[in-house]
Homo-oligomer: A and B are copies of this chain.
Amino acid sequence: MTTEQSLVATAIDAWKLNIGRADTLFSGLDDAGLQAEVAPGRNRLIYLWGHLIAVHDAMLPLLGLGPRLHAELDAAFLTGADRAVADLPSAAELKRLWSEVNGALLAGFGRFTAADWADKHTVVSADDFAKNPLRNRLAILLSRTTHVGYHLGQARLAHDAD
């Protein structure tokens, strides 16, 4: 394994670790469990889970892996706040969407070379990328990994001690 391959594999490993943590937390909950709030009056777990699915779905076009699979989630989980939409998917449906979207991402990650990860993502222009070469695919992966952690820290407040 070359240095650049090791660096990329490490970043993908960090992503998978955090997806696994979120999976353990959310996939084990039923519809009632997903109604728990992270703090009184704040986001419910169902919202955080759907939000992560919508954000990860949007990574597909952002990384150049293909079109959105489930843009219909945005109104309930991305553009709107929790409780803006009353009719939300069931726990079983969210679990299916979560697996589908993260599976599509992982399959795409496997096709990228190290140079692909250091190349620009689809929202930055070639000119802007020339000015700031850190606006690359890896930056998206790292940002979204931290984003999982961010909401996981909140979600754990609903159930654990830390």
Q: Which residues of A contact B (CB under 8 A)?
A: 1-4, 6-11, 13-14, 18, 38-40, 42-43, 81, 114-115, 117-118, 133-134, 136, 138-139, 142-143, 145-154, 157, 161-162
Contacts and interface: CB of A to CB of B under 8 A. Distances in A.
Given A3-B115, A157-B38, A10 B150 contact: no
Nearest to A157: B39
A77 to B, nearest CB: 13
24 contacts: A1-B133, A3-B4, A3-B114, A3-B118, A4-B7, A4-B114, A6-B118, A7-B7, A7-B114, A7-B138, A10-B134, A10-B139, A14-B142, A38-B157, A39-B39, A42-B157, A43-B162, A145-B146, A146-B148, A146-B149, A149-B150, A150-B153, A153-B154, A157-B157
Nearest to A145: B146
Given A4-B4, A4-B114, A146 B38 contact: no
B134 A9 contact: yes
B136 A6 contact: yes
Number of copies: 2
B142 A11 contact: yes
A115 B2 CA distance: 9
A40 B3 CA distance: 46
B6 A8 contact: no
A146 B14 contact: yes
Contacts of A114: 3-4, 7
A118 B13 CA distance: 13
A2 B57 CA distance: 30
